[in-house]
Amino acid sequence: MSRKVPKRVFLTEDQMPTKWYNVRADMKEQHDPYINPGTMKPIELEDLLPVFCTELAKQEGDCQTRYFDIPEEILDFYKIYRPSPIVRAYELEKALDTPAKIYYKFEGNNTSGSHKLNTAAAQTYYAKKQNLKGLTTETGAGQWGTAMAMATAYFGLDLIVYMVKCSSEQKPYRKAVIETFGAQLIPSPSETTNVGREILKNHPNTGGSLGCAISEAVEKAVTTEGYRYVLGSVLNQVLLHQSIIGEECKMQMEMIDEYPDIVIGCAGGGSNMGGVMASFMQDKLLGKTNPYFIAVEPASCPTMTRGKYAYDFCDTGHITPLAKMYTLGADFIPSPDHAGGLRYHGMSPVLSKLYHDGFLDEARAVVQTEVFDAAVQFAKYETILPAPESAHAILAAIQEANKCKESGEAKTILFNLSGTGNFDMGAYTAYREGKMKNYVPSDEDLAQGFASLPKIPGIQE
Ligand SMILES: *Cc1c(COP(=O)(O)O)cnc(C)c1O
């Protein structure tokens, strides 16, 4: 007889993992190297030092170290809001009348409202340790800017946030929170950088994009004494820090004698998906188990489902290194009608490689009105208002649970509830009023972005 499983599985502070897991150490093949846009040669550690703090640049290139000890100061910070619970969605299961068991990991229990604080704390700590004065970054939907504002306030560093202009207008309260924690917020594109001025000259009415805000933040960092740049997703170091999610999940599921058949995360740049799947992917890479991984993305920004696996710039201004990844082209600007996050043109090189090689089993594109249907259904039964990003994962979990209802299989589904949607009321209102549109780019729209893919002699003609 199966043991009664509690609604929530908590870890105590003492049980919290003290190491990050680096999935690259168990990958048979690594992603293709980053390329320096100046020399078109593979990047060296020194190339990264003007942009990233030294310890993070080292982590970025490390495919050997399997486990990294989490420094004491970061553990202390984590303990303010971690370990996070795994929750059994009994009420949702009942409403769906499914034999599937649905679990979610809840990463929204902090003021940033997302998992991003896990890497914000780490990156800020290493910058502080290097005696830097400040950091620059970009933010789209606002969670990353908020997480960085919180972390820099705690560790005592200055922060400049370039916020995608249309988001800063749609979400004034995000701006207010970021400023409350003491950071400086600049809508992007702006007149404060060469890249920003150039973009404004050519597109004076643009609402901006993440790729453009990244260019501005990087330029600001490399031209300001004592500053470095931080990025909240995509990078290897970010996936490393987010592995705390998967490490906790694995322990929590073991405590209740469970193991997921299906692991689901939404994917914008790939960090929460990379985090929740980390420890289960290790099992798969080592041939121990075979969970099915699903990354869910918006149909309006279909990076993995319709993008190309190619070298591309990580930013619109073409100043960042080139990465081999699934991409829609750095010039792709997603529809401003799309409500929440997940609007980046590229994808984590590690996730891209795992998907390309078949370890990450499926990428699924979904339209936003269905995402919000799922969000509202989840909110009703589990009483958490999900972030629109996270609701992509909820929708896929519901789809999988419905398949189980048809087949009669009692699969165990785990999804990451990456955050809460308390600042997304504009989007929820548009949805309720029936004003939300499902924009799906045509092949011609995508061709424009692909045309911007760079040529690299001997590598990508
Ligand atoms: C930023 C964000 C995402 C998307 O970023 P990933 O790097 O793909 O995880 C998803 N959910 C929430 C709540 C976020 O803040």
Which of 78-82, 123-127, 330-334, 431-435 is least confident? 330-334
- Say yes or no: CB of residue 389 within 6 Å of ligand 1: yes
Q: Find the 204 Cα to ligand 1 centroid distance in Å.
A: 29
Q: Judge whether residue 3 has pLDDT over 70.
A: no
Q: pLDDT of 223-241, one tens digit each?
A: 999 999 999 999 999 999 9
- Say yes or no: CB of residue 384 within 6 Å of ligand 1: no
* Predicted pLDDT of residue 1: 40
Q: Find the 350 Cα to ligand 1 centroid distance in Å.
A: 16
- Say yes or no: CB of residue 207 within 6 Å of ligand 1: no
* Predicted pLDDT of residue 316: 80
Q: Which atom of ligand 1 is nearest to the CA of 242?
A: 9
Reduce the DSSP state of residue 118 to 3 states and report it: helix
Q: pLDDT of 324-359, one tens digit each?
A: 999 999 988 777 666 666 888 999 999 999 999 999
Q: Judge whether residue 361 has pLDDT over 60.
A: yes
Q: pLDDT of 251-290, one tens digit each?
A: 999 999 999 999 999 999 999 999 999 999 999 999 999 9
- Say yes or no: CB of residue 120 within 6 Å of ligand 1: no
Reduce the DSSP state of residue 124 to 3 states and report it: helix
| Cβ atoms of 417 and 106 closer than 8 Å | yes
* Residue percentage of the chain with pLDDT more than 70: 98
Mean pLDDT calculated for residue range 399-427: 97
- Say yes or no: CB of residue 215 within 6 Å of ligand 1: no
Task: Return all residues near 180 (Cβ < 8 A) that are at least 6 apart.
Answer: 149
Q: What is the dihedral of CA 350, 354, 355, 358, to 10 degrees?
A: 170
* Predicted pLDDT of residue 317: 80
Which residue do the tokens 């893919």 mark? 453
pTM for this model (two decimals): 0.97
- Say yes or no: CB of residue 416 within 6 Å of ligand 1: no
Distance CA 375, CA 430 (A): 14
Distance CA 206, CA 110 (A): 32
Q: Judge whether residue 459 has pLDDT over 80.
A: yes
Mean pLDDT over all residues of the chain?
95
- Say yes or no: CB of residue 37 within 6 Å of ligand 1: no
- Say yes or no: CB of residue 387 within 6 Å of ligand 1: yes
Closest residue by CA, ligand 1 atom 13: 419
**How confident is residue 4, by pLDDT bands cut at 50, 70 and 90?**
low
- Say yes or no: CB of residue 266 within 6 Å of ligand 1: yes
Distance CA 1, CA 194 (A): 67
Which residue do the tokens 């190619």 mark? 310
Q: Which atom of ligand 1 is nearest to the CA of 270?
A: 8
Q: Find the 267 Cα to ligand 1 centroid distance in Å.
A: 7
Per-position b or e across 287-305, b if 16+ CB within 10 A of its CB: eeeebbbbbbbbbbbbbbb
- Say yes or no: CB of residue 268 within 6 Å of ligand 1: yes
**How many other C-beta atoms are found inside a 10 Å radius of the C-beta of residue 325?**
30
Q: pLDDT of 124-137, one tens digit each?
A: 999 999 999 999 99
Closest residue by CA, ligand 1 atom 7: 271
Mean pLDDT calculated for residue range 22-45: 96
Distance CA 340, CA 391 (A): 10
Q: Find the 286 Cα to ligand 1 centroid distance in Å.
A: 27
- Say yes or no: CB of residue 271 within 6 Å of ligand 1: yes
Taken in order of first residue, the domains within the chain and their CATH numbers are 8-16+70-113+235-450 (3.40.50.1100), 43-53+115-229 (3.40.50.1100)
* Predicted pLDDT of residue 196: 95
Distance CA 205, CA 371 (A): 29
- Say yes or no: CB of residue 139 within 6 Å of ligand 1: no
- Say yes or no: CB of residue 233 within 6 Å of ligand 1: yes
* Predicted pLDDT of residue 338: 66
Residue type, 41: K
Distance CA 433, CA 421 (A): 17
Task: Return all residues near 372 (Cβ < 8 A) that are at least 6 apart.
Answer: 339, 388, 391, 427, 428, 431, 436
Q: Judge whether residue 153 has pLDDT over 80.
A: yes
Q: Find the 458 Cα to ligand 1 centroid distance in Å.
A: 35
